[in-house]
Amino acid sequence: MKNLKHRKREQLYALWPQMTTLGFVGKIREESFWRSFKGGFGSIKFVYSDNPIKTEITMFAEIRFNELENLKNQSRPHLSDRDKLQTFSFSDEYGYLRGKPFPQKWFFDDETDMDDLAEDMSVAILDTLVPYLEKYSTMERALDFMLEKENRMKHSSIDTTAINVVGMAFILGRNDLDDIISSKTQMLREKGSRNIDEFLRFVHQIKA
Protein backbone atom coordinates (compact mmCIF):
# COMPACT_ATOMS: atom_id res chain seq x y z
CA MET A 1 0.00 0.00 0.00
CA LYS A 2 1.42 3.36 -1.05
CA ASN A 3 1.33 6.04 1.61
CA LEU A 4 -1.34 4.51 3.85
CA LYS A 5 -1.62 7.65 5.97
CA HIS A 6 -2.50 9.72 2.91
CA ARG A 7 -5.07 7.21 1.69
CA LYS A 8 -6.75 7.06 5.11
CA ARG A 9 -7.05 10.84 5.06
CA GLU A 10 -8.59 10.67 1.60
CA GLN A 11 -11.17 8.17 2.87
CA LEU A 12 -12.05 10.35 5.88
CA TYR A 13 -12.24 13.54 3.83
CA ALA A 14 -14.51 11.79 1.32
CA LEU A 15 -16.96 11.18 4.19
CA TRP A 16 -16.60 14.71 5.55
CA PRO A 17 -19.47 16.44 3.65
CA GLN A 18 -21.99 13.77 4.67
CA MET A 19 -20.84 13.75 8.28
CA THR A 20 -20.91 17.53 8.68
CA THR A 21 -24.45 17.55 7.28
CA LEU A 22 -25.35 15.20 10.15
CA GLY A 23 -23.76 17.54 12.68
CA PHE A 24 -20.49 15.67 13.22
CA VAL A 25 -17.06 17.25 13.58
CA GLY A 26 -14.09 15.53 11.99
CA LYS A 27 -11.29 14.34 14.27
CA ILE A 28 -8.82 13.23 11.63
CA ARG A 29 -5.99 12.52 14.08
CA GLU A 30 -8.33 10.23 16.07
CA GLU A 31 -9.70 8.76 12.79
CA SER A 32 -13.27 9.49 13.83
CA PHE A 33 -16.18 11.92 13.68
CA TRP A 34 -17.72 13.27 16.90
CA ARG A 35 -21.11 14.80 17.67
CA SER A 36 -22.06 16.32 21.02
CA PHE A 37 -25.26 15.67 22.94
CA LYS A 38 -26.37 16.93 26.33
CA GLY A 39 -23.96 15.43 28.85
CA GLY A 40 -21.55 13.84 26.42
CA PHE A 41 -20.85 12.97 22.82
CA GLY A 42 -21.05 10.18 20.29
CA SER A 43 -18.42 9.08 17.82
CA ILE A 44 -18.15 7.14 14.58
CA LYS A 45 -14.73 5.50 14.86
CA PHE A 46 -12.78 3.87 12.02
CA VAL A 47 -10.28 1.10 12.76
CA TYR A 48 -7.78 0.15 10.08
CA SER A 49 -5.94 -3.12 9.56
CA ASP A 50 -3.29 -2.93 6.88
CA ASN A 51 -1.71 -5.63 4.76
CA PRO A 52 0.53 -5.39 1.66
CA ILE A 53 -2.41 -5.65 -0.78
CA LYS A 54 -5.34 -3.79 0.76
CA THR A 55 -6.50 -2.12 3.96
CA GLU A 56 -9.49 -3.29 5.97
CA ILE A 57 -11.80 -0.85 7.78
CA THR A 58 -14.26 -1.59 10.55
CA MET A 59 -16.64 1.02 11.96
CA PHE A 60 -17.68 1.50 15.57
CA ALA A 61 -20.28 3.69 17.23
CA GLU A 62 -19.02 5.01 20.57
CA ILE A 63 -20.84 6.89 23.32
CA ARG A 64 -19.39 8.90 26.17
CA PHE A 65 -21.34 10.15 29.17
CA ASN A 66 -19.12 12.83 30.69
CA GLU A 67 -20.37 12.45 34.26
CA LEU A 68 -19.94 8.68 34.14
CA GLU A 69 -16.43 8.90 32.70
CA ASN A 70 -15.40 11.55 35.21
CA LEU A 71 -16.60 9.25 37.99
CA LYS A 72 -14.77 6.22 36.60
CA ASN A 73 -11.58 8.15 35.84
CA GLN A 74 -11.17 9.16 39.49
CA SER A 75 -9.73 5.69 40.04
CA ARG A 76 -7.55 5.72 36.91
CA PRO A 77 -4.41 7.63 37.96
CA HIS A 78 -2.45 6.02 35.12
CA LEU A 79 -4.38 8.09 32.56
CA SER A 80 -3.26 11.60 31.64
CA ASP A 81 -5.75 14.46 31.83
CA ARG A 82 -5.92 14.44 28.02
CA ASP A 83 -6.57 10.69 27.91
CA LYS A 84 -9.33 11.01 30.51
CA LEU A 85 -11.18 13.41 28.20
CA GLN A 86 -11.21 10.79 25.45
CA THR A 87 -12.45 7.67 27.24
CA PHE A 88 -15.78 6.27 26.07
CA SER A 89 -18.51 4.62 28.10
CA PHE A 90 -19.29 1.92 25.56
CA SER A 91 -19.13 1.09 21.87
CA ASP A 92 -20.34 -1.41 19.33
CA GLU A 93 -19.25 -2.50 15.87
CA TYR A 94 -21.47 -2.15 12.81
CA GLY A 95 -21.54 -5.83 11.82
CA TYR A 96 -22.63 -6.98 15.27
CA LEU A 97 -25.28 -4.28 15.39
CA ARG A 98 -26.65 -5.74 12.17
CA GLY A 99 -26.87 -9.18 13.79
CA LYS A 100 -23.85 -10.66 12.05
CA PRO A 101 -21.58 -13.12 13.89
CA PHE A 102 -18.51 -11.26 12.66
CA PRO A 103 -17.42 -7.65 11.99
CA GLN A 104 -18.38 -5.94 8.75
CA LYS A 105 -15.32 -4.87 6.79
CA TRP A 106 -14.73 -2.40 4.00
CA PHE A 107 -11.57 -2.43 1.90
CA PHE A 108 -9.43 -0.05 -0.08
CA ASP A 109 -6.17 -0.24 -2.01
CA ASP A 110 -4.13 2.11 -4.18
CA GLU A 111 -6.76 2.06 -6.93
CA THR A 112 -9.94 2.46 -4.86
CA ASP A 113 -12.20 5.41 -5.66
CA MET A 114 -12.66 6.95 -2.22
CA ASP A 115 -15.87 8.73 -3.17
CA ASP A 116 -17.46 5.39 -4.07
CA LEU A 117 -16.20 3.86 -0.81
CA ALA A 118 -17.53 6.81 1.20
CA GLU A 119 -20.94 6.47 -0.45
CA ASP A 120 -21.11 2.80 0.54
CA MET A 121 -20.00 3.50 4.10
CA SER A 122 -22.45 6.40 4.40
CA VAL A 123 -25.34 3.98 3.95
CA ALA A 124 -24.16 1.97 6.98
CA ILE A 125 -23.62 5.12 9.01
CA LEU A 126 -27.08 6.47 8.22
CA ASP A 127 -29.09 3.28 8.60
CA THR A 128 -27.43 1.85 11.72
CA LEU A 129 -24.70 3.82 13.47
CA VAL A 130 -26.40 7.22 13.73
CA PRO A 131 -29.69 5.71 15.03
CA TYR A 132 -27.66 3.73 17.59
CA LEU A 133 -25.97 6.90 18.83
CA GLU A 134 -29.28 8.73 19.01
CA LYS A 135 -31.03 5.91 20.85
CA TYR A 136 -28.42 5.30 23.54
CA SER A 137 -27.22 8.86 24.11
CA THR A 138 -29.73 9.04 26.97
CA MET A 139 -28.27 7.53 30.13
CA GLU A 140 -31.61 6.21 31.35
CA ARG A 141 -32.12 4.33 28.09
CA ALA A 142 -28.58 2.97 28.04
CA LEU A 143 -28.92 1.72 31.61
CA ASP A 144 -32.25 0.04 30.92
CA PHE A 145 -30.73 -1.66 27.89
CA MET A 146 -27.78 -3.00 29.87
CA LEU A 147 -29.97 -4.22 32.71
CA GLU A 148 -32.49 -5.94 30.47
CA LYS A 149 -31.80 -9.67 30.47
CA GLU A 150 -28.24 -9.01 31.67
CA ASN A 151 -27.55 -7.55 28.24
CA ARG A 152 -24.32 -5.74 27.41
CA MET A 153 -22.68 -3.96 24.54
CA LYS A 154 -20.79 -6.50 22.48
CA HIS A 155 -17.45 -4.70 22.68
CA SER A 156 -17.50 -4.10 26.42
CA SER A 157 -16.20 -6.71 28.84
CA ILE A 158 -18.45 -7.98 31.61
CA ASP A 159 -16.28 -6.02 34.06
CA THR A 160 -16.58 -2.75 32.16
CA THR A 161 -20.30 -3.28 31.73
CA ALA A 162 -20.76 -3.92 35.46
CA ILE A 163 -18.90 -0.72 36.30
CA ASN A 164 -20.94 1.23 33.75
CA VAL A 165 -24.23 -0.12 35.10
CA VAL A 166 -23.37 0.64 38.72
CA GLY A 167 -21.99 4.07 37.79
CA MET A 168 -25.10 5.05 35.85
CA ALA A 169 -27.41 3.73 38.56
CA PHE A 170 -25.47 5.83 41.10
CA ILE A 171 -25.61 8.99 38.97
CA LEU A 172 -29.31 8.55 38.27
CA GLY A 173 -30.06 7.99 41.95
CA ARG A 174 -31.66 4.60 41.44
CA ASN A 175 -33.37 3.25 44.55
CA ASP A 176 -32.25 -0.26 43.61
CA LEU A 177 -28.54 0.64 43.50
CA ASP A 178 -27.63 -1.82 46.28
CA ASP A 179 -29.52 -4.61 44.52
CA ILE A 180 -27.73 -3.83 41.25
CA ILE A 181 -24.35 -3.88 43.00
CA SER A 182 -25.15 -7.21 44.64
CA SER A 183 -26.34 -8.70 41.35
CA LYS A 184 -23.28 -7.56 39.40
CA THR A 185 -20.89 -8.69 42.12
CA GLN A 186 -22.44 -12.15 42.13
CA MET A 187 -22.37 -12.31 38.32
CA LEU A 188 -18.67 -11.41 38.15
CA ARG A 189 -17.78 -13.98 40.80
CA GLU A 190 -19.78 -16.71 39.06
CA LYS A 191 -18.09 -15.95 35.74
CA GLY A 192 -14.64 -15.90 37.33
CA SER A 193 -13.89 -12.32 36.37
CA ARG A 194 -10.19 -11.53 36.53
CA ASN A 195 -10.90 -7.85 37.10
CA ILE A 196 -13.45 -8.08 39.87
CA ASP A 197 -11.08 -6.17 42.18
CA GLU A 198 -11.35 -3.13 39.87
CA PHE A 199 -15.14 -3.36 40.07
CA LEU A 200 -15.07 -3.64 43.87
CA ARG A 201 -12.74 -0.63 44.12
CA PHE A 202 -15.17 1.37 42.03
CA VAL A 203 -18.08 0.32 44.25
CA HIS A 204 -16.10 1.32 47.35
CA GLN A 205 -15.34 4.69 45.73
CA ILE A 206 -18.96 5.59 45.08
CA LYS A 207 -20.18 4.26 48.44
CA ALA A 208 -17.53 6.07 50.48
pLDDT in tens, 130-145: 999 999 999 999 999 8
- On the question of pLDDT at 51 being above 80, the answer is no
- Nearest by Cα to 11 from 62, 52, 56: 56
Dist. CA 132–CA 124, nearest whole Å = 11
Domain that holds residue 181: 140-207
pLDDT grade for 1, boundaries at 50, 70 and 90: low
pTM, two decimal places: 0.88
pLDDT in tens, 102-128: 999 999 988 899 999 999 999 999 999
Residues 6+ apart with CB under 8 A from 174: 143, 180
Do both 127 and 24 map to the same domain?
yes
Dist. CA 181–CA 32, nearest whole Å = 34
Dist. CA 179–CA 185, nearest whole Å = 10
pLDDT grade for 2, boundaries at 50, 70 and 90: low
Domain count, the chain: 2
Do both 159 and 92 map to the same domain?
no
pLDDT in tens, 79-91: 888 888 888 998 8
Dist. CA 31–CA 110, nearest whole Å = 19
Do both 71 and 60 map to the same domain?
yes
Do both 100 and 157 map to the same domain?
no
Do both 61 and 132 map to the same domain?
yes
Dist. CA 106–CA 122, nearest whole Å = 12
